[in-house]
Amino acid sequence: MDKIIALQKVKSSLEAAARGRKLLKTSIVVNNAKEHVPKANHVARETAAATQAARERKVDDQLNQILDNRRPGN
C-alpha cells in the first residue's frame, strides 16, 4: 500500500512538473510574441503609408493623363 501511495505521489509530482514546464514554454512563447508585436505594428504602419502614397501617386498620374488628353493640340 505504501508503494502505491509513493508511486501516486511521484506521478503527481511528475504531472505537476510537466504542467509547470508547459506553462513555462507558453510563457516564453507569449513573451517572444510580445517582443515581435511592436515590430510587426511598425512594419504594418509603414506598409499602409507606402500603399496610400502609391494610391495617391496613381490617382495623380491618372488625373494628369486626363488633363493632358483634354488640352488643345493633344
Q: Which residues of 60-73 are buried (b: 16+ CB within 10 A; e: fewer)?
A: eeeeeeeeeeeeee
Nearest by Cα to 36 from 51, 25, 28? 28
Q: What is the pLDDT of residues 15-62, one digit of tens each?
A: 888 888 888 888 888 888 878 888 888 888 999 999 999 999 999 998
Cα 70 to Cα 72: distance, rounded to the nearest angstrom: 6
* The predicted structure's pLDDT at residue 48: 92
* The predicted structure's pLDDT at residue 73: 67
- Find out whether 48 and 42 touch, Cβ atoms under 8 Å: no
pLDDT band at 7 (very low <50, low <70, confident <90, very high): confident
